[in-house]
Amino acid sequence: MRVHCLVLLAVAVVFATDAVTARSLPEEQSVSRFLRTHKTTKTNNEERVNLLGFEVKIGLLDDMIEKAKLSPTFNELLKTNGNAEKAFKAFKVDDVVDDVFQSTQWKEWAEYVKYVAAKKGENVDEELARAMSVAYKPDGLSKMLATAVKNPKSKEIALMLENAQQSRWIKGKFTPEAIFKTLNLHKADNIFDTPQFATWTNFLKAYNKENPEKAMTEFNVLSSAYGELNFAKMLGSADDSPPAQAMKKELVQSWIDGATHPINMFSRLKLNEADDLLTNPVLNMWVRYMKEFNELYPKQGTTMIKTFTQSYGDEKVALMILEASKSSDDKVVEFAKNLQSAQINQWMVDKKTPKEMLTVLGINSQTLSENPLGSVWRAYNKEYTKKMADGDFAFQP
């Protein structure tokens, strides 16, 4: 009976104090903070307040008042022991599209999750982070936090949730490889520009600090997660941001350490089987490697044209270049133009006559005008005429 009376008194105080102080209290100020402006006493190190003749523990009074102000949805969920996922739907948080953390729905839901977690003796921040991960998926939450941290109104919440998420993963003994996949980074085209990558690198630092004997590098994890070929493809497609550049350099260095000849590396990266050789992003990484190798081993060095020709033959390489020259991408067209010049120069170095080149390119006098490589042969014939004095031509078209 005494407790019942206290609850009624607490409710009465809530409404009375709300009415009296409506003009002076900030909108977000809690009732518990207001109560601590009243005269209090301490008994056995417990703070108490004298309420209408009753001495009541501050903590107990706070709980009674907060419960009195709960919404019907909140109370119903408490009665049914609704979990965070059920509460998420009950508070209709999924209806919120923008500024989720500023919405009433999210705030009520977050309070419910934290309230239940506190009752169970759980870490309230970590439980909220867990519930958010379930609701939005880990990668989705990472994107949300990256946006929220830029907003002064939600920055504190975003940082709290990210720290709580990191703490959960560390306590859960998750590895950097596992979190990499949890954040769906292995499916991203250019991971370096994603919010998830920033989340993951922060976790990697925390993991290494917690487990120095198992410390990993970004390169170790990424190369393992993708495999060599897909890793090279991903890096070849990536922009030149500092993180991407650093990773490209590290991959090339790992190849250099193996001292594999570029021609062998060309086959290892399956470039000798590529239908899209000149636009294949893996080629970008191979070219970087070839240049590094040539600088270190000039006597064993090679060129793109030599390597291409060894794998595909003159005719097929010429056709590839011709096809690339028709691209709508100006960079590809410029690349094709430079390659054609390099191919013609290589034929000159090899001292191949225009007559020989007719056979090499599969052309004869009857098909010259119709053969797509006719223009390539004419370009070579013209260049040969300028530089060679023997006049050994197949014929003048």
Residue 202 has pLDDT above 60, yes or no: yes
Structural domain boundaries in the chain: 2-68, 70-172, 319-397
Phi and psi angles of residue 290, each rounded to the nearest 5 degrees, phi first: -55, -45
Prediction pTM value: 0.73
What does each C-alpha distance from 89 to 71, 148, 331 come to in angstroms? 15, 22, 51
The pLDDT, as a whole number, for residue 387 is 82
What does each C-alpha distance from 255 to 178, 217, 303, 308, 367 come to in angstroms? 26, 17, 17, 20, 45
Nearest to 243 by CA among 315, 193, 290, 309: 193
Mapped onto helix, strand or coil, the DSSP state of residue 40 is strand
The pLDDT, as a whole number, for residue 257 is 95
47 has which bridge partners?
42
The pLDDT, as a whole number, for residue 186 is 86
| 335-374 core/surface letters (b: 16 or more CB in 10 A; e: else) | bbeebbebbbebbeeeebbbeebbebbebeeeebeebebb
Burial grade of 110 (CB within 10 A; 0-12, 13-18, 19 or more): buried
Q: In sequence order, which residues have a C-beta less than 8 Å from that of residue 153 and are 6 or more positions away?
A: 101, 102
> Cα separation of 344 and 360, whole Å?
13
Residue 48 has pLDDT above 90, yes or no: no
Residue-wise pLDDT for 224-246, tens only, equals: 999 999 999 999 999 888 999 99
- For residue 103, what is the DSSP state? S
- Asked if 358 contacts 397 with a C-beta cutoff of 8 angstroms, the reply is no
Residue-wise pLDDT for 105-121, tens only, equals: 999 999 999 999 998 99
> Cα separation of 272 and 269, whole Å?
8
The pLDDT, as a whole number, for residue 389 is 62
Residue-wise pLDDT for 208-218, tens only, equals: 999 999 999 99
The pLDDT, as a whole number, for residue 45 is 53
Residue 365 has pLDDT above 80, yes or no: no
The pLDDT, as a whole number, for residue 393 is 52
| 174-203 core/surface letters (b: 16 or more CB in 10 A; e: else) | ebbeebbebbbbeeeeebbebbbbbbbeeb
Residue 310 has pLDDT above 70, yes or no: yes
